[in-house]
Chain A
Amino acid sequence: MQRNMFLKTLAASAAAMLGLGAGLTHAADPLEVPFYYPVAVGGPITKVIDGYANDFNKAHPQYKITPIYAGTYQETIVKALTANKSGKAPATSVLLSTDMFTLIDDDAIVPIDDFAKTDADKAWLKGFYPAFMANSQTGGKTWGVPFQRSTVVMYYNKEAFKEAGLDPNKAPATWKELSEAARKLTKKDASGNVTQYGIQIPSTGFAYWMLQTLTTPNDVLLANEAGTKVSFDNPKVIEALDYWVNLTKEGVHPKGVIEWGTTPKDFLEKKAAIIVTTTGNLTNIKANAKFDFGVGQIAGHVRKGGSPTGGGNFYIFKKAPKEQQQAAFEFAKWVTQPERAAQWSMDSGYVAVSPAAYDTPALKKYGQEFPQALVARDQLPVSVAEFSTHDNQRVTKVLNDAVQAALNGTKTSAQAMKDAQKEADRILRSYQ
């Protein structure tokens, strides 16, 4: 009897536990939302992203955002598109803003407008800097949400400026001033070898981006908004490339093709007094420079300054289930709110994506303590979209090769750009 009673109690409690367990798992059965992201700058980025996902999941118990680190930008798009082709697309991924046309052509993503239905959502989309939206919209639709965005600035060694008799508190503002400063900053040893170059603009990998820092001040765009036409052989583009080539010919800029990755190091080693590179290097240079350095806007020419933007956007994948897409949208919205965008900017060195983020107390204080961080923001009103077309990587390679050929002297600037134009026209023929 007793034994029977015991068994009954056991069975009842087991059933209760099972029931409870089932109830619990049912109530807390959050929707898994895979999210691919790349890391392109130094620092503990993976930890920061995991932290954001955790905070979001706590605030939204119905969702479970799973961040998946996928390597560099290039590796991430390879993984995302391969997953998409096998039918298991991630709900969302951070990919280069310039990959927008590639993703549209592959029918891989859906417009963000499909989800932004309320007035608040629409206001949120309007809250980003227009310079960042230029790379996120085409054909009247928004395809990407700006997240880890950057721009190109000039870093200069203030001590070298003082030695050369230049004003260390004023970066060269025009091409003319820049050439003169570069001439004064170039130092040679007794046997005539250069020990410090005046200026250095890297030309591997992102040569097209660096060319844009010269074409934008020369008031010419390399591609149309639809990404179907390029203007490489425009005389203003050739003039901009010639300016760069002439810096190397004058001996104030190192010869040949300059490695992107070692450029910050060249600056830190005082082998180059001015370098032109992404704002993403700011945290690195701040931490490692043993001298006082300044950050300046890109020098102007026909128009005042102006740089291309760069970096990554959130995209939402078409093949993901509807609920996952909605969750991805909520996450992108949540993570780009002003306070979080401000925090992200300070953690990573990226430019905060909205003016509202720069109005937050945290970022205001940071800007006062470290004014170099605000240069990128001040440059945004004169910034343009990063070069992007259909079949983007192929056209970009054609442009990169042309810039390198001109810098190496195997072709004249005009010849290199005319050849590149012909090749790009051939590639883009089917999109026109």
Chain B
Amino acid sequence: MSASSSSIAGSGQRSIHAWLLLLPALVLLVAFTHWPAVATLIDSFYSTPKGARAAVWVGAENYQAMAEDPVFWQAVRNNLWFAAATIPASIGLALLMAVWVNERIAGRTFVRMAYFTPTVLPMIAVANIWLFFYTPQYGLLEQVTGALGLPSHNWLGSPSTALGAITLVAVWKEAGFFMIFYLAALQTLNPSLKEAAAIEGASRWYFFRRVQWPLLMPTTVFVLVNAVINAFRLVDHVFILTRGGPDNATTLLLYHLYEVGFKFWDTAYAAAITVVLVVVLSSVALFQFFVLDKKVHYQ
């Protein structure tokens, strides 16, 4: 009796300790992540308060407005293109760079640093540099194409190339960051695997396909989650390069959200877009963690 009650008291005390240890992080998370998310969900069912007119319950009207908003759908299409291009391109490039700088080559540290530089630079600053790369007539790109005798092209100013141009900047920015994860993973691989493969006479490509790639799978999933989130989150350069133009050709979801929320001050509609974005992103992340994660480990 006394023994069991003391063990209950002990476990109670332990759980109080545990909660106390969790408290600082919990307070921050609830105050700055979970509560704002819930408040946004609630706000999305009300109208936007304007001056003396308070917010009123409007049900799903904001969602209906979203379904009828052509700019929203264009932003969705643009963002899917942007994601479909940046995710595989930046991951592929990162892997290629990581495998290369993992080898014993001359100036390895320098090359690694060079590849990582885009990650260190602030996006707003590099976007301003890219703006001059893309400038018609005397920009860097134009000087190259001009030297080859190709006609001048307004890369950011025509709808056919603007989205491609901002996608390229995002890939350039992200690949170096993902490379670091791959590089770290490659260095943890057991060197005896490589020796064994060499003894067996496996080609380099075969070794990569059957040994390195499967062993890197957990890293790939982690990088993939990051790449998907970044595809919807990385819009800083849009502000500098195109401001969503020409005629919404480069408007991404988050940029549209910013415009609705902080330029048009339609906070209720912005809340509705946020809810959709959060739901889509969290379901993608959940799918990746719970479904993909189970299938990635090499057996």
Q: Which B residues touch A107, using CB under 8 A?
A: 50-52
CA A405 – CA B154 in complex, angstroms?
Answer: 15
B151 surroundings in chain A (CB, below 8 A): 193
**Please, which residue of chain A has its CB at the minimum distance from the CB of B132?**
A262
* Interchain CB contact (< 8 A) of A404 among B52, B135, B246, B264: B246
* A249-257, A295-303, A345-353 - the one binding chain B: A249-257
Q: Could you tell me which residues of chain A, from 396 to 410, have a CB within 8 Å of some CB in chain B? A: 397, 400-402, 404-405, 407-408, 410
Known: A255-B154, A257-B158, A410-B159. A106 touches B245 (CB 8 A): no
Cβ–Cβ < 8 Å partners of A257 in chain B: 154, 156-158, 245-247
Per-residue A-contact encoding for B156-169, CB less than 8 Å = 1, 0 else: 11110000000000
Which of A194, A195, A259 has a CB less than 8 Å from the CB of B157?
A: A259
**Interface residues in B236-263 (C-beta closer than 8 Å to A):** 242-243, 245-248, 259, 262-263
Do residues B247 and A408 form an inter-chain contact, with CB atoms below 8 A? yes
Complex contact B51–A408 (CB within 8 A): no
Q: B262 contacts which chain A residues (CB < 8 A)?
A: 74, 78
With an 8 A cutoff between CB atoms, is B222 at the interface?
A: no
Decide: A204 near B245, CB < 8 A? Known: A256-B157, A262-B132, A393-B264. yes
Q: Smallest CB–CB gap between B6 and chain A, Å?
A: 51
With an 8 A cutoff between CB atoms, is B107 at the interface? no
Chain B contacts with A in 47-71, Cβ cutoff 8 A: 50-52
Query: Among the listed B131, B132, B243, B247, which residue makes an inter-chain contact with A205, where contact means beta carbons less than 8 Å apart?
Result: B243
In B31-61, the 8 Å CB interface with A consists of 50-52
The distance in angstroms between the C-alpha atoms of A187 and B157, with both chains bound, is 21
Chain B residues, CB < 8 A from A203: 157, 246
Question: Which of A105, A191, A408 contacts B246 (CB under 8 A)?
Answer: A408
A108 in contact with B51 given A102-B265, A256-B157 (CB within 8 Å): yes
Residue of A nearest to B134 (CB): A259
- What is the bound-complex CA distance between A78 and B264, given in angstroms? 10
Q: CA separation between A397 and B242, bound complex, in Å?
A: 13
Residues in A with CB closer than 8 Å to B131 are 259, 261-262
| A271 in complex: contacting residue of B137, B154, B243, CB < 8 Å | B137
CA separation between A265 and B262, bound complex, in Å? 30
Bound-state Cα–Cα, A261 to B130, Å: 13
Q: Is B149 an interface residue (CB 8 A)?
A: yes
Are B243 and A393 neighbours in the complex by a CB distance under 8 Å? no
| Given A256-B246, A401-B248: A105 and B50 interface contact (C-beta under 8 Å) | yes
- Complex Cα distance, B52 from A261, in Å, reads 38
Contacting residue for A408 out of B52, B158, B243, B264, CB 8 A: B158
How long is the Cα–Cα vector from A329 to B246 in the complex, in angstroms?
Answer: 41
Asked if B149 and A194 sit within 8 Å, CB to CB, the answer is no
Is A391 an interface position by the 8 A CB rule? yes
Considering the complex, give the chain B residue whose CB is closest to the CB of A195: B137
Instruction: Specify which chain B residues have a CB less than 8 angstroms from the CB of A81 in the assembled complex.
Output: 265
Binary flags per residue of B133-153, CB closer than 8 Å to A gives 1, else 0: 001111000000010010110
Whole-angstrom CA separation of A108 from B51 in the bound complex: 7
Q: Are B159 and A408 closer than 8 Å at their CB atoms? A: yes
Interface residues of B in 171-230 (CB under 8 A from A): none
- Name the residue among A107, A254, A257 with the largest chain B CB count within 10 angstroms: A257
Query: In the assembled complex, how far is the CB of residue B262 from the closest CB belonging to chain A, in whole angstroms?
Result: 5
A407 touching B265 by the CB < 8 A rule? no
**Whole-angstrom distance between the Cβ of B236 and the nearest chain A Cβ:** 14
* Docked CA distance A258–B264 (Å): 24
Shortest Cβ gap from A328 to chain B (Å) = 20
A269 proximity list for chain B (CB < 8 A): 137-138
B247 touches A404 (CB 8 A): yes
**In the complex, what's the smallest C-beta–C-beta distance from A240 to chain B, in angstroms?**
18
A106-B264 in contact (CB<8A)? no
Point out the residues of chain A lying under 8 angstroms from B263, CB to CB.
74, 393-394, 397
Q: Is the CB of B138 within 8 A of A254?
A: no
Interface centre among B149, B248, B265, by most chain A C-beta atoms within 10 angstroms, is: B265
Q: Of A106, A204, A269, A407, which is in contact with the most chain B CB atoms at under 10 Å from its CB?
A: A204
Nearest Cβ on chain B to A76's Cβ, whole angstroms: 12
> At the interface, yes or no: A425 with Cβ under 8 Å from chain B?
no
Query: Is B138 a contact partner of A271 (Cβ separation < 8 A)?
Result: yes
The yes or no answer to A159 lying at the interface (CB within 8 A) is: no
Chain B residues with Cβ below 8 Å from A191 are 149
In the assembly, what is the distance between CA of A261 and CA of B135, in Å? 10
CA–CA, A193 and B151, complex, Å: 6
- Does A266 lie at the interface of the complex (its beta carbon under 8 Å from any beta carbon of B)? yes
Residue of B nearest to A255 (CB): B154
Taking A105-B50, A256-B157, A258-B157 as given, write out 19 further A-B residue pairs in contact, using a Cβ cutoff of 8 Å, ordered by the A residue number. A105-B51, A107-B50, A107-B52, A191-B149, A193-B151, A194-B137, A203-B157, A204-B246, A205-B243, A254-B137, A255-B158, A256-B136, A266-B138, A271-B137, A393-B264, A394-B263, A408-B159, A410-B159, A410-B247
19 contacts between A and B (CB under 8 A): A74-B262, A105-B50, A106-B51, A193-B152, A204-B157, A204-B245, A204-B246, A205-B243, A257-B154, A257-B158, A258-B154, A262-B135, A266-B138, A391-B264, A393-B263, A401-B248, A404-B245, A408-B246, A410-B159
Closest 8 CB pairs of A and B: A107-B51, A256-B157, A256-B154, A257-B246, A257-B157, A256-B158, A404-B246, A404-B247
